[in-house]
Amino acid sequence: MQSIISNTAKVLPDVVNIRQRETVKLSQKNFFNQQTVSNPIIFHGVGVHSGKAVCMIIHPAAVDHGIIFERTDIEDQPNRIRASWQTVSSTNMCTTISNASGVSVATIEHILAALYGMGITNALITIDGPEVPIMDGCSDEFCKSLQETGAIRQSKKRPSLKISTTVKVENEHGWAQLSPRDINLFSVKFLPSDRYEGLTQEQSIQFSYNTDDFAALISKARTFGFYEDAQKLWAAGLAKGASLENTVVIHKGAIMNEEGLRYDDELVRHKALDAIGDMALAEYVLIGHYEACNPSHTLNYQLLKKYFETISAN
């Protein structure tokens, strides 16, 4: 499944002249500027949960536009959905956002992680189905296409939010916390349960946009799950698009994928990838410390919700 760079896809009316500006390479030094893609980028794939073929296009967008999804297969009701923690409608197995009409897009975390990690703040993402294509189970193909296409550096700084108070959420599996820090920092720990059998070693990783390269350190880590869980999901008509081509499958403590893991700590790197994608729903660069142990989409959403409710009450 390859992406195709296109100059013919539709462009928003308010960015007609955007390509007259200088195209820049995506780099850390540009991270705190607002940026958009220099040309539309097309991706074809399948949804990991729906199993449906989908075409997704990332279009350039104007300053302060943010990230907005548009369901092009729906025409009889409002079909745009802002990528925000306030539009999250489900965190069951993935992160799903919906608008007031109930139109939704699922599994948005990997593309949001790529956009956030590569410094793209403004884009219209058109999609002709209910779920973002899974590609090979991570953000790597998205990042490669973003790097190849380049970005337009825009006239304003990227919105940032300095974390002012410590907020924590937890459940029986793990916890997640935001706390004050002078830089943007993600610290994620993964503690395998007894189900992982031979994969029992604790894994941890730290990532900061101030110093680290998202594409090199995080983007290639794939989603993972258990073979016995996949059997149950398939029987229930779920995870229809999951396969060894896009998921690390664990069975009795062993990795079923012929090529094995991409990194010894690929599992925690993917946990960090998901967290970065979910926390992008804050719609800010968070200046502070995200710290978590066995985080999930549910914990990440609950953390953002609790933080914004806390600061609103003060």
pLDDT digits 0-9 by tens, 149-158: 999 999 999 9
173 in active site: no
Give 224-264 pLDDT, tens digit per residue.
999 988 878 777 777 788 889 999 999 988 999 999 999 99
Quote the CA–CA distance of 95 and 298 in Å, as a whole number: 8
Mapped onto helix, strand or coil, the DSSP state of residue 287 is strand
Q: What is the pLDDT of residue 23?
A: 65
For the chain, domains (ranges, CATH) are 4-157 (3.30.230.20), 160-313 (3.30.1700.10)
Q: What is the pLDDT of residue 20?
A: 47
Tell me the residue type at 181: R
The pairing of strands 4-5 and 67-71 is unpaired
Quote the CA–CA distance of 121 and 294 in Å, as a whole number: 28
Q: Is 12:37 a contact under the CB 8 Å cutoff?
A: no
How far is C-alpha 240 from the chain's CA centre? 20
Residues in the chain with pLDDT values less than 50: 1-20
Tokens 């350190």, residue?
A: 217
Please report, for residues 95, 123, 154, the alpha-carbon distance to residue 98 in angstroms, rounded to integers and kept in the order given.
10, 17, 28
- Cβ neighbours of residue 92 under 8 Å, at least 6 residues apart? none
| Token digits of residue 55 | 């075409």
